[in-house]
Amino acid sequence: MQVSAMAIDLARIQFAFTVSFHIIFPALSIGLASFVAILEWRWLKTGEAVYLDLCRYWSKVFAVGFGMGVVSGLVMAYEFGTNWSAFSNFSGSITGPLLSYEVLTAFFLEAGFLGIMLFGWDKVSKKAHFAASCMVAIGTIISMFWILSSNSWMQTPTGYSIVNGRVEPQDWFAVIFNPSFPYRLAHMGLSAFIATALLVAGSSAWHLLNGRRDRGVKISFSMALAMLTLLAPLQALVGDAHGLNTLEYQPAKLAAMEGIWETETDGTALNLFGIPDMAAEKTHYAVSIPHLGSLILTHSWNGQIRGLKSFAPQDRPNSLLLFWSFRLMVGLGLLMIALGLLHLWLRRRDRLYDSAALQRFALWMSPAGFIALLAGWVTTEAGRQPWVVYGLLRTNQAVSPISQHQLSVSLSILVCVYLLVFGTGLYYLIKLLRSGPAQHERTAAGDKEQLGALTTWSGRRPISAAETPIDANPNNKE
Amino acid sequence: MLDLSLIWAAIIALGVFIYVVLDGFDLGIGLLFPLFPDKQDRDVMMNTAAPVWDGNETWLVLGGACLLAAFPVVYSAVLSALYLPLILMLVGLIFRGVAFEIRAKAKRTQPLWDLAFMGGSALATFCQGMALGAYIQGIKVEHREFAGSGMDWLTPFSLFTGLGLLVTYAMLGAGWLLIKTEGRLQARLYQLLRPLSMLFLFVVALVSLVTPMVDPAIASRWFTTPNIFWLLPFPLGVALCGVGIWRALQRQQENRPYLLTLLMVALGYIGFLISIWPHLIPPSITLWEAAAPASSQRFALYGAVIILPVILAYTALGYWVFRGKVRASDSGYH
């Protein structure tokens, strides 16, 4: 069955839309699961109530994000077959086992222990509960391992042979640890932690700006910014290494990211600004710095970078899109480093919780991690085009034999449902962030007193009893 | 040499069955929601499944992933053949999954999330049932890809199996709730289960009669000698279970209706496997023809053999931790 060009575009739009929506939630889950586990560990270690409050508060945020991740991920697991059946048929023998390992080693671990983590506070011992939280956190990271291995294999396939027009795995080690995988894993892992840190810092900044100065808010703010300060510069180094890897294995992607058309022998300039034009084969209004391209991308003064013109026109990814999505990501990354440095400077001057400038900066940056993450994924996925499996299977050959009509129906349904369901989900998430962690009255005997027995502490429901529902009218709060 | 394809077909069949056993009751809770308008009852009903629904649904993801790993042709052909029902099923699962997380945290908009939970459960169940019916009726495949038209799945039979699955999941949900609740709510469930179980038995009988009629191959498998003697225990077993459910309801034995319903579902499921054997895409592609390369099947099998028992163990642990009755006054839920 011949698939129309329109159907291919619709299938691509649908996948881009659903996967972009999806990836936000796993990234949040990866970061928050570890954050919650660390908070719980500090509670067990110090016995201070504030860590328990924080742990329970952030696990609620985690629960909403995780639930949305599960259901939007379910769509992904079936979309490969419904929309991309030729791709599944061609390379299912490799992506299938990797996905199976993800389900077996990660999804079940997360889902199996999530119940205990969220609802098992007074059903199991403190240590068993902590173990469950750790299992969930480990599950999120194992999940990332497998899915990035599968994605990286599509970018830089190794360890396979082609038999009867289909992929057949030859060496599983080479498949899993394909050339771009270590870089992508490190890059995505860091970005998940950074995005979560920015969200935690931003929401805490909002409470600080609104005058809250209780320990819970301060601890969240301080921990998140410390995390950011550590990871944002590290991310720049990892991103640089990833770029070198892309230059080696996917040179067309790199040329498109930088809007480079000619292959120059005596050093390539770096375009700071420009409007790459695919038809005219040049970058308009380019503002560039000589030799900087070579220096950054090859780490040498005259390093050679293949220009887009050296690739056949039908093999070129869209440079206009990549040029700007890449710059958006890098620009936000630089702002993150700046936020980290500002925080460090204010912390040393003991003004961490008093600087409105820092709080506003952090508040504005709270979605930056997710935006950068999406921009990065757009860069790497659109940069793989026109291939779905790089060099092996073109995207326009990967689509299912389904009609344009069916695709437009399903796309409209999915867009409506996602906007409705995940839109309100996000709205609740933001409400939850605005309500902030619990603020307990201090007892005369101090914090530790409240923790004698968990179940008798402020009635049978330690936190939720005193809590306002997340959709309550904000005006009658407090 | 092990028959890897056969082992994989068995694992996937088992995974789908566990999915039906586990997610069947929590989808069923959503189906029963309209009959229990009281907020406190609904809280209790939802809390019986809140700690486990994530894990239940993961079996569906496992089914998809293993199918892709071991039989990519089946995954790609069947999923594109059942395009719309599967997309709608996913939409239903989205609504109810998000409702699980948000309903308990909302107050003003709680009725809307109740609606999302009910509608989502019903849509997902009905679409699963339709997909099942369409699958039994057969999927047209040429050159290893789906060659039928986009609406092949929509037949009177698939609409009927959709309705049948609604009744089955409602039955599982009611049986599960009987075990997990007490007092007034449980009394109302006993009341409800009488007509519901009659409807369920009627549906089971009808499906058993109609399925052989839609496909002569299935009819000849069941109604020729000597098969008919070997297969006689199935209808007999189903009939015995039906009587058992009825008696258990009269004697108010709270665990039995659920377990006997499960047994009936298991018998029906095995009957379904017998009907399609040895095809993975009825009526043309057998499980050996659909196999992925042996290296893929072997690699994925290591993982499945080692990890599945561990998963079953901690899934059981999860159910054990949350054993016993759920009460409105319970702490810890949301």
Q: Do B79 and A78 touch (CB under 8 A)?
A: yes
Crossing angle of helices A49-82 and A423-435, in 10° steps, is 170
Q: Which residues contact A3 (CB under 8 A, 6 or more apart)?
A: A396, A399, A400, A401, A402
> With helix as H, strand as E and coil as C, how does chain A read?
CCCCHHHHHHHHHHHHHHHHHHHHHHHHHHHHHHHHHHHHHHHHHHCCHHHHHHHHHHHHHHHHHHHHHHHHHHHHHHHHHHCCHHHHHHHHHHHHHHHHHHHHHHHHHHHHHHHHHHHCCCCCCHHHHHHHHHHHHHHHHHHHHHHHHHHHHHHCCCCEEEECCEEEECCHHHHHCCCCHHHHHHHHHHHHHHHHHHHHHHHHHHHHHCCCCCHHHHHHHHHHHHHHHHHHHHHHHHHHHHHHHHHHHCHHHHHHHHCCCCCCCCCCCEEEEEEEECCCCEEEEEEEECCHHHHHHHCCCCCCCCCHHHCCHHHCCCHHHHHHHHHHHHHHHHHHHHHHHHHHHHHHCCCCCCCHHHHHHHHHCCCHHHHHHHHHHHHHHHCCCCEEECCCEEHHHCCCCCCHHHHHHHHHHHHHHHHHHHHHHHHHHHHHHHHCCCCCCCCCCCHHHHHCCHHHCCCCCCCHHHCCCCCCCHHHCC
Q: Cα(A326)–Cα(A379) distance, rounded to whole angstroms?
A: 6
Which H or E run includes B169?
helix B156-180
Q: Do B296 and A93 touch (CB under 8 A)?
A: yes
Tokens at B34, concatenated: 């309209």
Comparing CB atoms, the residue among A77, A105, A400 nearest residue B80 is A400
Distance from CA of B155 to the nearest CA of A (A): 18
Would you call B145 helix, strand, or coil by DSSP? strand
Q: Which residues pair with A283 in a beta bridge?
A: A276
A residues 387-406 closer than 8 Å to B (CB): 400-403, 405-406
Kindly report whether the global pTM for this prediction surpasses the value 0.80. yes
Residues of B in contact with A74 (CB under 8 A): 57, 60-61, 90, 93-94, 97
Cβ-contact A64, A432 below 8 angstroms: yes
Q: What is the pLDDT of residue A111?
A: 84
Asked, for residue B333, whether it belongs to a domain, the answer is no
Range B75-82 average pLDDT: 86
Q: What is the pLDDT of residue B332?
A: 54
Distance from CA of A114 to the nearest CA of B (A): 7
Mutate to test the interface with A, among B83, B108, B320 (most CBs of A within 10 A): B83
| Domain boundaries, position B15 | 4-321
Q: Do A400 and B72 touch (CB under 8 A)?
A: no
DSSP letter for B279, please. E
Range B48-75 average pLDDT: 86
**Residue given tokens 């008696």 in the structure block:** B247
Q: What is the pLDDT of residue A443?
A: 42
Longest alpha-carbon distance in chain A: 77
Distance from CA of B123 to the nearest CA of A (A): 13
Comparing CB atoms, the residue among A71, A77, A406 nearest residue B65 is A77
Asked, for residue B250, whether it belongs to a domain, the answer is yes
Q: Cα(B45)–Cα(A4) distance, rounded to whole angstroms?
A: 48
A77 touching chain B per CB within 8 A: yes
Q: Cα(B41)–Cα(B5) distance, rounded to whole angstroms?
A: 46
Amino acid symbol at A451? L
Q: What is the pLDDT of residue B138?
A: 85
Asked, for residue B61, whether it belongs to a domain, the answer is yes
Count of structural domains, chain B: 1
pLDDT score of B28 more than 90: yes
Cβ-contact A80, B68 below 8 angstroms: yes
Cβ atoms within 10 Å of A452's Cβ, excluding its own = 9
Nearest residue of chain B to residue A423 (CA atoms): B98
Q: Do B93 and A71 touch (CB under 8 A)?
A: yes
Mutate to test the interface with B, among A56, A83, A108 (most CBs of B within 10 A): A108
Q: What is the pLDDT of residue B148?
A: 80
Range B313-327 average pLDDT: 85
Q: What is the pLDDT of residue B316?
A: 87
Q: Do A401 and B331 touch (CB under 8 A)?
A: no
Q: Which residues pair with A160 in a beta bridge?
A: A169
Residues of A in contact with B295 (CB under 8 A): 93, 168-170, 172
Phi, psi of A96 (to 5 degrees): -60, -55
Would you call B29 helix, strand, or coil by DSSP? helix
Nearest residue of chain A to residue B77 (CA atoms): A85
Q: In a 10 Å sphere around its CB, with 0-12 CB exposed, 13-18 middle and 19+ buried, how is residue A187 labelled?
A: buried
Q: What is the pLDDT of residue A459?
A: 29
Cβ atoms within 10 Å of B271's Cβ, excluding its own = 19
Longest alpha-carbon distance in chain B: 63
Range B113-117 average pLDDT: 92
A residues 425-454 closer than 8 Å to B (CB): 425, 428, 432
Chain centre to alpha carbon of residue A150? 16
Q: Do A103 and B58 touch (CB under 8 A)?
A: yes
Better-predicted residue by pLDDT, A292 or B225:
A292
Distance from CA of A331 to the nearest CA of B (A): 34
Distance from CA of A351 to the nearest CA of B (A): 36
Asked, for residue B244, whether it belongs to a domain, the answer is yes
Q: What is the pLDDT of residue A153?
A: 96
Q: Do A103 and B315 touch (CB under 8 A)?
A: no
Q: Do B79 and A85 touch (CB under 8 A)?
A: yes
Asked, for residue B334, whether it belongs to a domain, the answer is no
Better-predicted residue by pLDDT, A439 or B24:
B24
A105 touching chain B per CB within 8 A: yes
Q: Do B90 and A75 touch (CB under 8 A)?
A: yes
Residues of B in contact with A111 (CB under 8 A): 54-55, 57-58
Q: What is the pLDDT of residue B123?
A: 95
Q: Which residues contact A101 (CB under 8 A, 6 or more apart)?
A: A146, B300, B303
Comparing CB atoms, the residue among B52, B64, B98 nearest residue A421 is B98
Mutate to test the interface with B, among A68, A119, A121, A168 (most CBs of B within 10 A): A119
Distance from CA of B121 to the nearest CA of A (A): 13
Pairing of strands B145-146, A282-289: unpaired
Cβ-contact A239, A293 below 8 angstroms: no
Q: Which residues contact A239 (CB under 8 A, 6 or more apart)?
A: A187, A330, A333
ipTM: 0.84
Core vs surface per residue A107-140: b (16+ CB within 10 A) or e? bbbbbbbbbbbbbbbebbeeeebbbbbbbbbbbb
Q: What is the pLDDT of residue A470?
A: 57
Asked, for residue B328, whether it belongs to a domain, the answer is no
Q: Which residues contact A357 (CB under 8 A, 6 or more apart)?
A: A342
Q: Cα(B126)–Cα(B130) distance, rounded to whole angstroms?
A: 6
Chain centre to alpha carbon of residue B287? 22
The enclosing domain of B230 has a CATH number of 1.20.1630
DSSP string, B196-261: HHHHHHHHHHHHHHHHHHH-HHHHHHHHSTTHHHHHTHHHHHHHHHHHHHHHHHHTT-SSHHHHHH
Comparing CB atoms, the residue among B93, B105, B150 nearest residue A74 is B93
Q: What is the pLDDT of residue A192?
A: 96
Distance from CA of B158 to the nearest CA of A (A): 19
pLDDT score of B52 more than 60: yes
Asked, for residue B196, whether it belongs to a domain, the answer is yes
Q: What is the pLDDT of residue A472?
A: 54
Range B74-88 average pLDDT: 87
Cβ-contact B303, B309 below 8 angstroms: no
Nearest residue of chain B to residue A105 (CA atoms): B307
Give, for all 478 residues of chain A, the pLDDT tens digit: 556 778 888 889 999 999 998 999 999 999 999 999 999 999 999 988 889 989 989 988 998 888 888 888 888 878 888 888 889 889 989 999 999 999 889 888 888 888 888 888 888 888 999 999 999 999 999 999 999 999 999 999 999 999 888 899 999 999 999 999 999 999 999 999 999 999 999 999 999 998 888 888 999 999 999 999 999 999 999 999 999 899 889 999 988 998 888 888 888 888 889 888 888 888 888 888 888 888 888 888 888 888 888 999 989 999 999 999 999 999 999 999 999 999 999 999 988 888 889 999 999 999 999 999 999 999 999 999 899 999 899 998 888 887 888 888 888 988 998 888 888 888 888 888 988 888 764 444 344 333 333 333 332 233 333 344 555 554 443 3
Q: Cα(A258)–Cα(A297) distance, rounded to whole angstroms?
A: 10
Asked, for residue B329, whether it belongs to a domain, the answer is no
